[in-house]
Amino acid sequence: MNNHKPIILRTLFAIAVIAIFIASMFPFSESDFYDTLNTLLSDPQNPTMVKVIDLAKQKQSEDKVKYAYPSVALEAAAREVKEPDADGNGLYSVDIVRYVKPVIVKQHKIQSNADVISLVRKNSASALHLGIDLHGGAEFLLHLVADEKAQSDFARFRDNAIETLRKRLAKQNIFEAEISPAGLEYVSVRVPVKTEDEKANLEKLVLRSAKLEFRMVHPMNDELVPRYEAYLNQGGDPDAFPDTPSEAEFLSTEERIGDHLITEYVLVETTVQMEGNEVKDAYPSMNQFGKREILFSFTPAGASKFGEVTGNNIGRRMAVVLDGQLYSAPTIQSRITSNGQITGSFSQDEAQGVADALVSGSLPFEITVASRSDIDATVGAETIRSSIYSGILGTVLIMIFMLIYYRTAGLVANISLLANTGVLLGAMAAFGVTLTLPGIAGIILTLGMAIDANVLFYERIREEQEAGKSLHSAVNIGFDRAFSAIFDSNVTTLFTGIILYWQGTGAIKGFAMTLVIGIFTTMFSAVFLSRVLFDWILRIPNLKMQKINMLMFLPNPKFDFVKVRFIGFGISIFLILLSLTTIFVRGSNALSIDFTGGTQLLVSYEPKDKTQAQIPASDIGKYLGTKGYDAKVAYKKVTDQNNTEGTSVLEIVVRPRSQEKGSVSSEVSSELIGELDKAYPDVKMTKISESTLGALIGAAFTKSAIKALICAMIGMIIYMTIRFQFSYSIAANVALIHDVIVSTGIYLLCGGQISLQVVASLLTLIGYSVNDTIVIFDRQRENLTLHPEMTYFQIVNLSMNQTLGRTILTSVCVMLVLLSQFFLGGDGIHDFVATILIGNIAGCYSSIFISPMLTAYWHNKSKKNAAPSAPSAPAAAPKNNGDLNITINA
Interval 576-596: pLDDT, tens: 999 999 999 988 788 887 777
* Contact between residue 755 and residue 655 where contact means Cβ atoms under 8 Å apart: no
Task: Give start and end residues of each alpha helix (H) in 504-560.
Answer: 507-522, 530-539
* CA angle (848 as vertex; 847, 849 as ends), nearest 5: 105
Q: What band does 403 get if pLDDT is binned at 50, 70 and 90?
A: very high
pLDDT by residue (tens digit) across 558-569?
Answer: 899 989 999 999
Element (H, E) at 247: none
pLDDT at 92 over 60: yes
**Torsion angle, CA of 424/427/431/432, rounded to 10 degrees?**
60
Compute the average pLDDT of residues 738-755.
91
Compute the average pLDDT of residues 788-811.
88
What's the gap between Cα 826 and its chain centre?
23
Higher pLDDT: 204 or 584? It is: 584
Instruction: Work out the percent of the chain whose per-residue pLDDT is above 90.
Output: 17
Question: In the prediction, which pLDDT does 380 show?
Answer: 57
Question: In the prediction, which pLDDT does 453 show?
Answer: 85
Compute the average pLDDT of residues 124-148.
77
> What is the C-alpha to C-alpha distance for residues 323 and 365, in angstroms, rounded to an integer?
11
DSSP letter at 867?
P
Name residue 338's amino acid.
S
Compute the average pLDDT of residues 696-707.
65
Q: Which residues pair with 392 in a beta bridge?
A: none
Name residue 657's amino acid.
R
Higher pLDDT: 864 or 720? It is: 720
Question: In the prediction, which pLDDT does 467 show?
Answer: 87
Question: In the prediction, which pLDDT does 696 show?
Answer: 59
Backbone angles phi, psi at 684, to 5 degrees: -90, 120
**Torsion angle, CA of 115/121/124/125, rounded to 10 degrees?**
-130
pLDDT at 888 over 50: no
Compute the average pLDDT of residues 114-125.
81
pLDDT at 201 over 80: no
> What is the C-alpha to C-alpha distance for residues 474 and 527, in angstroms, rounded to an integer?
16
> What is the C-alpha to C-alpha distance for residues 165 and 145, in angstroms, rounded to an integer?
16
Backbone angles phi, psi at 319, to 5 degrees: -90, 130
Question: In the prediction, which pLDDT does 37 show?
Answer: 92
Q: What band does 50 get if pLDDT is binned at 50, 70 and 90?
A: very high
Question: In the prediction, which pLDDT does 791 show?
Answer: 87
* CA angle (279 as vertex; 276, 283 as ends), nearest 5: 110
What's the gap between Cα 639 and its chain centre?
27
Write the CB contacts of 662 (distance below 8 Å, at least 6 apart in sequence). 656, 692
pLDDT at 627 over 60: yes
> What is the C-alpha to C-alpha distance for residues 482 and 492, in angstroms, rounded to an integer?
16
Whether the CA torsion 101, 104, 109, 111 is positive or negative: it is negative
* Contact between residue 385 and residue 135 where contact means Cβ atoms under 8 Å apart: no
DSSP states of 473-503 as a string?
HHHHHHHHHHHHHHHHHHHHHHHHHHHHHHH
Higher pLDDT: 565 or 704? It is: 565
pLDDT at 54 over 90: yes
Query: Model pTM?
Result: 0.69
Q: Which residues pair with 92 in a beta bridge?
A: 83
Compute the average pLDDT of residues 83-94.
71
Which of 44-48, 627-631, 768-772 bottoms out in mean pLDDT, i.e. has the lowest?
Answer: 768-772
The answer to whether the bond into 852 is cis (omega within 30° of 0) is no
pLDDT at 884 over 50: no
Q: What share of the chain is helix, strand, coil (3-state, %, to 5)?
A: 55, 15, 25
Backbone angles phi, psi at 489, to 5 degrees: -65, -40
Give me the numbers of helices (H) and strands (E) for the chain, helices first please: 29, 21
Task: Give start and end residues of each alpha helix (H) in 316-380.
Answer: 348-360
Question: In the prediction, which pLDDT does 746 show?
Answer: 95
Q: What band does 267 get if pLDDT is binned at 50, 70 and 90?
A: very high
Which of 121-135, 570-584, 768-782 bottoms out in mean pLDDT, i.e. has the lowest?
Answer: 121-135
Compute the average pLDDT of residues 260-274.
84
pLDDT at 510 over 50: yes
Question: In the prediction, which pLDDT does 195 show?
Answer: 67
Nearest residue to 74 via CA among 114, 125, 42:
114
Query: 554: how many CB neighbours lie within 10 A of its CB?
Result: 14
> What is the C-alpha to C-alpha distance for residues 572 and 620, in angstroms, rounded to an integer?
39
Question: In the prediction, which pLDDT does 537 show?
Answer: 86
pLDDT at 420 over 80: yes
DSSP letter at 684?
E
Q: In what order do the strands lie in the sheet with 339-343?
A: 279-286, 292-298, 339-343
Backbone angles phi, psi at 45, to 5 degrees: -95, 5
pLDDT at 524 over 90: yes
**Torsion angle, CA of 51/56/61/66, rounded to 10 degrees?**
150
Q: What band does 574 get if pLDDT is binned at 50, 70 and 90?
A: very high
Higher pLDDT: 607 or 46? It is: 46
Q: What band does 871 get if pLDDT is binned at 50, 70 and 90?
A: very low
3-state secondary structure of 861: coil
pLDDT at 868 over 60: no
* Contact between residue 886 and residue 556 where contact means Cβ atoms under 8 Å apart: no
Q: What band does 659 get if pLDDT is binned at 50, 70 and 90?
A: very low
Strand segments (E) across 586-724: 598-607, 631-639, 645-654, 683-693
pLDDT at 84 over 90: no
* Contact between residue 619 and residue 712 where contact means Cβ atoms under 8 Å apart: no
- The two most distant CA atoms of the chain are separated, in Å, by 103
* Contact between residue 810 and residue 451 where contact means Cβ atoms under 8 Å apart: yes
pLDDT at 864 over 60: no
pLDDT by residue (tens digit) across 163-194?
Answer: 777 777 777 767 677 787 877 788 888 888 75
Q: What band does 264 get if pLDDT is binned at 50, 70 and 90?
A: confident
Residue 374's Cβ-side half-sphere holds a number of Cα atoms within 13 Å equal to 12
Question: In the prediction, which pLDDT does 695 show?
Answer: 66
pLDDT by residue (tens digit) across 61-78?
Answer: 887 767 877 888 898 898
pLDDT at 668 over 80: no
Parallel, antiparallel or unpaired: strands 339-343 and 82-83: unpaired
Question: In the prediction, which pLDDT does 576 show?
Answer: 95
> What is the C-alpha to C-alpha distance for residues 354 and 210, in angstroms, rounded to an integer?
7
Higher pLDDT: 583 or 255? It is: 583
pLDDT at 289 over 90: no
pLDDT at 149 over 60: yes
Q: What band does 738 get if pLDDT is binned at 50, 70 and 90?
A: very high
Q: What band does 643 get if pLDDT is binned at 50, 70 and 90?
A: very low
Write the CB contacts of 474 (distance below 8 Å, at least 6 apart in sequence). 461, 464, 465, 548
Nearest residue to 337 via CA among 390, 274, 244, 287:
274
Parallel, antiparallel or unpaired: strands 178-181 and 186-191: antiparallel
Question: In the prediction, which pLDDT does 207 show?
Answer: 75
Higher pLDDT: 493 or 798? It is: 798
Higher pLDDT: 871 or 645? It is: 645
* Contact between residue 631 and residue 655 where contact means Cβ atoms under 8 Å apart: yes
* Contact between residue 628 and residue 589 where contact means Cβ atoms under 8 Å apart: no
Average pLDDT, the chain: 80
Higher pLDDT: 480 or 771? It is: 480
pLDDT by residue (tens digit) across 363-402?
Answer: 677 778 888 787 776 665 666 677 677 778 878 888 898 8
pLDDT at 1 over 60: no
Nearest residue to 96 via CA among 260, 286, 262:
260
Nearest residue to 779 via CA among 491, 488, 495, 567:
488
Backbone angles phi, psi at 264, to 5 degrees: -110, 130
pLDDT at 199 over 80: no
Write the CB contacts of 301 (distance below 8 Å, at least 6 apart in sequence). 278
Write the CB contacts of 106 (distance below 8 Å, at least 6 apart in sequence). none
